[in-house]
Structure 1
Amino acid sequence: MTILHRAAFVTSAARLDQLPLPGAPEVCFVGRSNAGKSTAINVLTNQKRLAYSSKTPGRTRLINMFGLPDTLNPGEQLGYLVDLPGYGYASVAHQAKEQWADILGDYLRHRPSLAGIVMLIDIRRGVTELDRRLANWIAPTGKGVLALLTKADKLPFGQRKNAVFAVKKQLADIGQLHALPFSATARIGIEEATAQIENWISPKVVP
């Protein structure tokens, strides 16, 4: 059992000022709508319905925070997993898109407790223009990024390696970038992703 398996819902917020005060390390999940963000959170925490996974891309419009309880200090959190709204769904009104962009940008650039960023990219699509724009927000922060290339089971092994190489090249301006193939259904990359996220939350924690 890893510390991620302890995750429990804490709060949802429509704006940054509705979030709890910064404190314990936060690892956020960002990605294009329908890239598999909620599914990744659920499989990494070993819970079926922790993060809401909608069949309608763009449905999740709130920042959702999940706490990782500190079992040695009841009432305290070791850290948080933060599910940010997906971006890029075509039928969402322009004004709503801009509002989400503001929330994403402000959180990524100004949240002092942000320890690491998990960026979900559909391995079959590669880096899109919206992913590139997101990378432009991230790069100046100097935060570490774990790019999960989701739905990796859809490609053979050789193509997965090529996809990882391409993502690293396209996002090279992000200084601390790790990229790996990931599949919730085929359980590809789960252990590696878990280790990276746990290291951001607390390098000294032994699950």
Structure 2
Amino acid sequence: MSILHRATFVTSAARLDQLPEPGAPEVCFVGRSNAGKSTAINLLTNQRRLAYSSKTPGRTRLINMFGLPDPLNPGDYYGYLVDLPGYGYASVAKHAKEEWADVLGDYLRIRPSLAGIVIMIDIRRGVTDLDLRLTRWIAPTGKGVLALLTKADKLPYGQRMNAVFAVKKQLADIGQLAAIPFSAPARIGIEEATHHIENWISPKAVP
């Protein structure tokens, strides 16, 4: 069983100072509003409703943390999965967008326990301007990035591979970048994504 399947809800926070003290490795999920972050977390943890997915784009503005309990040390965690607020939804008020962007940006740049970043990209749309801006913000941190190209079931295999190549080319500024096709309904890319995330969090804990 994947260590990700042990995930449990820990906390929701509107600000960084409301999060637990940095410690165990954290892997965060970022992407446009309604890009499928919560769906991916639920799929990778093999749980239907661990992460909440709002039906209204731009509604979820909290950092949601899910811990991976260490069975040998009750109360301790191997690491955390972190669902960050989505970005880019036009109808959100400007001041709210700015506050939200500050929280997102600060977490990505200064959170010392951040071990890896999963960015959700619609395989049919490719890398958007907002995605590029985000990855340019991330690049100086040197953190590893995994691009999950969602809706992969909508394209035949050859087009999926072309999309992976295109994303890697566009995001070449990121030194540690992996990109894989991903689909919740077709269960594409689950094992590869799980492997990346487990190794960021705790290689020694992976069976």
Q: TM-score, normalised by structure 1?
A: 0.98
Q: Give the distance between the partners of 1:165 and 1:159, measured in 2 at CA.
A: 10
Q: Give the distance between the partners of 2:70 and 2:183, measured in 1 at CA.
A: 28
Q: How big is each residue's C-alpha offset from its partner over 1:152-198, in whole Å with a ceiling of 9 and x where there is no partner?
A: 11111111111111100000001100000000110000000000000
Task: Give the gaps of 5 or more residues in structure 2.
Answer: none
Note the C-alpha offset of 1:96: 1.1
Match of 2:25 in 1: 25
Note the C-alpha offset of 1:73: 0.8
Matched, 1:177 2:177: yes
2:152–2:183 CA contact under 8 A, matched in 1: yes
Match of 2:40 in 1: 40
SS of corresponding position for 2:9: strand
Matched, 1:131 2:145: no
2:199–2:206 CA contact under 8 A, matched in 1: no
Matched, 1:122 2:116: no
Q: How big is each residue's C-alpha offset from its partner over 1:48-101, in whole Å with a ceiling of 9 and x where there is no partner?
A: 000011221111110000000001111100000000000001111111111111
- The one-letter amino acid paired with 1:91 is S
Matches within 5 A, 1:68-147: 68-147=68-147
- The one-letter amino acid paired with 1:124 is R
Matched, 1:53 2:78: no
Match of 2:16 in 1: 16
- The one-letter amino acid paired with 1:94 is K
2:198–2:206 CA contact under 8 A, matched in 1: no
Note the C-alpha offset of 1:205: 1.1
- The one-letter amino acid paired with 2:86 is G
SS of corresponding position for 2:139: helix
Q: How big is each residue's C-alpha offset from its partner over 1:15-58, in whole Å with a ceiling of 9 and x where there is no partner?
A: 00110100000000000111111100000000000001122111
2:39–2:184 CA contact under 8 A, matched in 1: yes
2:64–2:83 CA contact under 8 A, matched in 1: yes
Q: TM-score, normalised by structure 2?
A: 0.98
Note the C-alpha offset of 1:114: 0.3
RMSD: 0.7
Q: Give the distance between the partners of 1:47 and 1:12, measured in 2 at CA.
A: 18
Q: Give the distance between the partners of 1:206 and 1:136, measured in 2 at CA.
A: 31
Q: How big is each residue's C-alpha offset from its partner over 1:119-146, in whole Å with a ceiling of 9 and x where there is no partner?
A: 0011111100110110011000000000
- Between the aligned residues of both structures, percent identity stands at 86
Note the C-alpha offset of 1:206: 3.0
Aligned length: 207
